[in-house]
Amino acid sequence: MKRVAILISGGGSNMLRLLDSMAGDHPARPVLVGSNDPAASGLAKAAAQGVPTVAIDHRAFASRTEFEAALLEPLLAAEPDIICLAGFMRILTPDFTRRFAGRMLNIHPSLLPKYPGLHTHARAIEAGDAEAGATVHEVTADLDAGPILGQARVPVLPGETPDTLAARVLVQEHRLYPEVLRRFAAGDRKPVLL
């Protein structure tokens, strides 16, 4: 049974889908939900599911390195085999990502390699793209650039706004991430295409 830690920064809707999925014959179980923001509403939702939670406020640290050192303590104590970033909005240093090479996943709201970084939906609409979507990938030192483990596509509709597109992509994120995690935890890294 693989042990999974999930890092969030906000509402944690993807995190909740991951928690829900890890039951029955699933090859993984959640061991920790962590956040860089004590006000992240997802923390209480995880706690309500009986999952241990921890908040390490990044604003309390003078540098990224010090924040990450503080985050590492509870994370390593939970002994995760896999770490899922699910709406975790802090950039991680290469030292941190290297430590979890090959076992840290992220979900990003674009069809990578298009639109790494922020404002992905606005950029897709602005570019006149016919399709948008989400990607789950392995986390490497380069932002939003690791090996792709799955993608879900949605059409960009006439009159689309970043918010309407984000909402439709999120529905697909909720299908994609649990499917990728299930396969990844079982040792299958073939990309999932939805």
Chain residues that interact with ligand GAR, rule: CB under 6 A: 8, 10-15, 86-87, 107-109, 134, 170, 173
**3/90 with CB nearer ligand GAR:** 90
Shortest Å, Cβ 59 to ligand GAR: 19
3 is in an annotated binding site: no
Nearer to ligand GAR, 79 or 162 (CB): 162
Does the annotation place 125 within a ligand binding site? no
* Residue 20 Cβ vs ligand GAR, minimum distance, rounded to whole Å: 13
Kindly report the CA angle at 155 between 151 and 156, in degrees rounded to 5? 120
Give the residue at shortest CB distance from ligand GAR: 87
Q: How far apart are CA 105 and CA 56, in angstroms?
A: 20
Query: Hey, is 176 helix, strand or coil?
Result: helix
Are the beta carbons of 32 and 74 closer than 8 angstroms?
yes
- Which CB, 31 or 105, lies closer to ligand GAR? 105
Tokens of 67: 């924040």
- Cα dist from 176 to 1, 47, 60, 91, 125, whole Å: 21, 23, 34, 22, 22
Task: Please indicate if the annotation marks 107 as binding a ligand.
Answer: no
* Amino acid, res. 87: G
Q: Minimum Å distance from CB 41 to ligand GAR?
A: 9
Query: In terms of CB distance, is 77 or 161 closer to ligand GAR?
Result: 161
Question: Does residue 22 have a known ligand-binding role?
Answer: no
Contact call for residues 31 and 78 (beta carbons, < 8 A): yes
Was 1 annotated as part of a binding site? no
Rounded distance between C-alpha atoms, residue 164 and residue 194, angstroms: 20
Distance, in Å, from the CA atom of 103 to the CA atom of 156, rounded to the nearest integer, reads 32
* Residue 10 C-beta: closest distance to ligand GAR, Å: 4
Measure CA 55 to chain center.
16
CA nearest to 106, candidates 81, 82, 128: 82
Q: Which residues are catalytic?
A: 108
Residue ranges of the annotated binding site are 12-14, 64, 89-92, 106
